[in-house]
Amino acid sequence: MLERASLVVARGQFVSLVGPSGSGKSSLLRAAIGLQQPLAGTVDPEVAPSDIGILFQDDALLPWRTARDNVALGLTFRNVPRKSALEQADHWLDRVGLAGFEHRYPRHLSGGQRKRVALAQVLALTPKLLLMDEPFASLDAIVRARVVQDVASLVEEQQISALLVTHDLEEAIGLSDRIYLLSQGPRARITHEYAVPLPRPRDPVRARMHPAFAPLYDQLWNDLSEAVGARPTAAAEAAE
Amino acid sequence: MNPRYAWLRQLIAFGILLLVWEAAGYAGMLNPLFMPSPSAIGSALYELFSDGRIWPHLEATFTAALAGLALGIFIGIVLGVVGALVPLFAELIEPVMTILNAIPRVILAPLFVIWLGIGLASKVALAFILVAVLIFFTVFTGIRQVDRRLVERIVTLGGGRWALVRHVYLPSVTAWILGNMKVAVGFAFTGAVVGEFVAATSGLGYLLSFAQSTYNSALMLALVLLIMVVVLLIFAIAGRLEKYLLRWN
């Protein structure tokens, strides 16, 4: 459970929230989009709820709808005419690299492809703020690297502010402009805040080649170990 | 052993069984009163159709089973949906349904005859009660176990109540019902035939009870065969429908 959190995502910024399991990272995101009420206090995003998109760990596509119908779904909720919604869906599927897969059902797509459909589903609504709750955790290494790269470039191109919850420090550094660290729950709170000194545009997967990467990673690692309150080896397990 | 030709081997085995059966009957090893030969069963079946007297009976059974099925699915869905959405109603209906589910519901047949007479209504009622309880639990537990992640996905995409019903609940319920369709069809025919068996003036169940009272085992087995074919035929149709509606799976 998160006791107190005050964090700011500036316009166009990519912010990550890192912390041990049970520190309330997911709850924070869910509160921000109204799926969950904070026990006390308020969430006050300066953007309208309809301008916030969220990517979950599970892709949660409707199994009985094709890829394009899934992507068009949010648009039809906004009373976009069906024909136009489907055209936009095809466009976004193309943008996430799924041209030719429009008529597939989720069951007939791979994990990475489903994640891309979910991304297209959210991007089609042209959000100003994108919340991500460990969206890459379920993917295997190579697929994951590619999806991360595509998310980074699309978010940058669309000038979307992003808030990512993750366990993965490397992912956090590679993608973010700013990183917040949460302490161990219960009564978790934000203990550290870092600016990521890597230049943009950048490739999140190759960020670790940059000389500024290792010192920041090291610092994050030590602070996280301290937050977990155990020796670094045990912390590694807790963080995983 | 090529698995593609399993049906052929099954057919051959069945043919051999029939031949042995026929031969045993011919050799006088089986008492035709209890175990008539396949040819006797075949001719009983042929007679039923050749003089046309089977048709009104088939019609009676079909009417009762299909009416009970349709009514049972409809009422089952309504009760299941209302039960899942209105907690007070769930509190009242769930124990009733649990009891109905626990007992062999065909024991209600004599009661229905007293209440509704020996006509069509008592058979429809029996088929109905068999199907409705099954569908109620399918829908009731189904809606309660609907995938929360899908619900949250629709909500975060901006969908309202109606969108949830249309895109999550309705397709889920359809899938669960179709998954139980074969059982429901079997239940509906069980209800119709057992109802007719208890008291009726027509129907396959009535013919069965007639065959029993006249010790006509050839007719009895012919009727069993006929009911089997009818139900398998409906299974095939239900299977087609299921395949089409669940093509995403």
Per-residue pLDDT tens for A60-72? 899 999 999 999 9
Nearest CB among A35, A61, A66 relative to B152 is that of A35
- In this structure, the answer to whether residues B61 and B20 fall within a common structural domain is no
Which of A29, A33, A35, A62 is the best residue to mutate to test the B interface, defined by the most B CB atoms within 10 Å of its own CB? A62
Q: Which residues of B touch A78 (CB under 8 A)?
A: 158
- In this structure, the answer to whether residues B14 and B42 fall within a common structural domain is no
> Is residue A56 a part of any domain in this protein?
no
User: What is the domain count for chain B?
Assistant: 2
Query: Residue A38: which pLDDT band, with cuts at 50, 70 and 90?
Result: low
- In this structure, the answer to whether residues A30 and A132 fall within a common structural domain is yes
- In this structure, the answer to whether residues A34 and A81 fall within a common structural domain is no
Per-residue pLDDT tens for A191-225? 888 888 888 888 888 888 888 888 899 998 988 88
> Is residue A143 a part of any domain in this protein?
yes
Query: Residue A235: which pLDDT band, with cuts at 50, 70 and 90?
Result: very low
Query: Residue A46: which pLDDT band, with cuts at 50, 70 and 90?
Result: low
- Listed as ranges, residues in chain B with pLDDT below 70 are none
pLDDT over 60 (residue A1): no
Instruction: State CA A58 to chain mean position distance.
Output: 12
> How buried is residue A223: exposed, middle or buried, by Cβ count under 10 Å (0-12/13-18/19+)?
middle
Distance (Å) from the alpha carbon of A68 to chain B's nearest alpha carbon: 13
**DSSP reduced 3-state for A162:** strand
User: What is the domain count for chain A?
Assistant: 2
Parent domain of B103: 38-245
- In this structure, the answer to whether residues A30 and A135 fall within a common structural domain is yes
**For position B91, what pLDDT does the model report?**
94
Q: Which residues of B touch A68 (CB under 8 A)?
A: none
**For position A40, what pLDDT does the model report?**
58
Which of B157, B165, B176, B246 is the best residue to mutate to test the A interface, defined by the most A CB atoms within 10 Å of its own CB? B157
Q: Going by C-beta distance under 8 Å and a sequence separation of 6 or more, which residues neighbour residue B163? A: A77, B154
Parent domain of A136: 2-47+128-239
Distance (Å) from the alpha carbon of B155 to chain A's nearest alpha carbon: 8
Q: Which residue, of A126, A144, A176, is where some domain finishes?
A: A126
pLDDT over 80 (residue A41): no
Q: Which residue, of A126, A147, A172, is where some domain finishes?
A: A126
- In this structure, the answer to whether residues B1 and B69 fall within a common structural domain is no
Q: Find the residue in A nearest to B151 (Cα).
A: A60
> Is residue A157 a part of any domain in this protein?
yes
- In this structure, the answer to whether residues B14 and B66 fall within a common structural domain is no
**For position B28, what pLDDT does the model report?**
86
Q: Which residue has the tokens 């690692």?
A: A221
- In this structure, the answer to whether residues B90 and B152 fall within a common structural domain is yes
- pTM value is 0.77
Cis peptide before A204 (omega within 30 of 0): no
- In this structure, the answer to whether residues A37 and A146 fall within a common structural domain is yes
- In this structure, the answer to whether residues B79 and B113 fall within a common structural domain is yes
CATH number at residue B43: 1.10.3720.10
Please give the residue that has the higher pLDDT: either A137 or B195.
B195
- In this structure, the answer to whether residues B15 and B109 fall within a common structural domain is no
- In this structure, the answer to whether residues A122 and A132 fall within a common structural domain is no
- In this structure, the answer to whether residues B126 and B55 fall within a common structural domain is yes
Which of B153, B154, B242 is the best residue to mutate to test the A interface, defined by the most A CB atoms within 10 Å of its own CB? B153
Nearest CB among A50, A64, A125 relative to B248 is that of A64
Measured between alpha carbons, how far is A231 from B63 in angstroms, rounded to an integer?
75
> How buried is residue A202: exposed, middle or buried, by Cβ count under 10 Å (0-12/13-18/19+)?
middle
Pair A117, A67: CB distance under 8 Å = yes
- In this structure, the answer to whether residues A209 and A223 fall within a common structural domain is yes
**DSSP reduced 3-state for A17:** strand
Closest CA to A135 of A125, A123, A146, A148: A148
Pair A99, A91: CB distance under 8 Å = no
> Is residue A151 a part of any domain in this protein?
yes
- In this structure, the answer to whether residues A10 and A91 fall within a common structural domain is no
**Cross-chain residue pair A64–B175, CB shorter than 8 Å:** yes
- In this structure, the answer to whether residues B16 and B60 fall within a common structural domain is no
Q: Which residue, of A98, A126, A154, is where some domain finishes?
A: A126
CATH number at residue A141: 3.40.50.300
- In this structure, the answer to whether residues B184 and B208 fall within a common structural domain is yes
Closest CA to A122 of A157, A73, A85: A73
**Cross-chain residue pair A35–B155, CB shorter than 8 Å:** yes
- In this structure, the answer to whether residues A147 and A208 fall within a common structural domain is yes
The complex scores an ipTM of 0.81
Q: Which residues of B touch A58 (CB under 8 A)?
A: 149
**Cross-chain residue pair A35–B154, CB shorter than 8 Å:** no
Closest CA to A70 of A109, A24, A40: A109
Inter-axis angle of helices B120-144 and B54-85, nearest 10: 30
> Is residue A11 a part of any domain in this protein?
yes
- In this structure, the answer to whether residues A120 and A134 fall within a common structural domain is no
Nearest CB among A50, A105, A121 relative to B248 is that of A105
Which of A54, A59, A61, A64 is the best residue to mutate to test the B interface, defined by the most B CB atoms within 10 Å of its own CB? A64
Nearest CB among A35, A77, A107 relative to B249 is that of A107
Q: Span A125-146, mean pLDDT?
A: 88
Q: Which residues of A touch B149 (CB under 8 A)?
A: 56, 58, 60
> Is residue A223 a part of any domain in this protein?
yes
Nearest CB among B150, B158, B163 relative to A50 is that of B158
Q: Which residues of A touch B247 (CB under 8 A)?
A: 105
| pLDDT mean across residues, chain A | 84
- In this structure, the answer to whether residues B136 and B176 fall within a common structural domain is yes
Query: Residue A231: which pLDDT band, with cuts at 50, 70 and 90?
Result: very low
- In this structure, the answer to whether residues A134 and A213 fall within a common structural domain is yes
Cα dihedral value A44, A49, A51, A52, nearest 10:
80
pLDDT over 50 (residue A232): no
Question: Which residues on chain A place their C-beta less than 8 Å from a C-beta of chain B?
Answer: 33, 35, 50, 53-54, 56, 58, 60-66, 73-74, 77-78, 105-107, 121, 125
**Cross-chain residue pair A62–B152, CB shorter than 8 Å:** no
- In this structure, the answer to whether residues B166 and B115 fall within a common structural domain is yes
- In this structure, the answer to whether residues A115 and A135 fall within a common structural domain is no
**For position A240, what pLDDT does the model report?**
47
**For position B175, what pLDDT does the model report?**
86
> Is residue A93 a part of any domain in this protein?
yes
Q: Going by C-beta distance under 8 Å and a sequence separation of 6 or more, which residues neighbour residue B17? A: none
- In this structure, the answer to whether residues A9 and A19 fall within a common structural domain is yes
> Is residue A66 a part of any domain in this protein?
yes
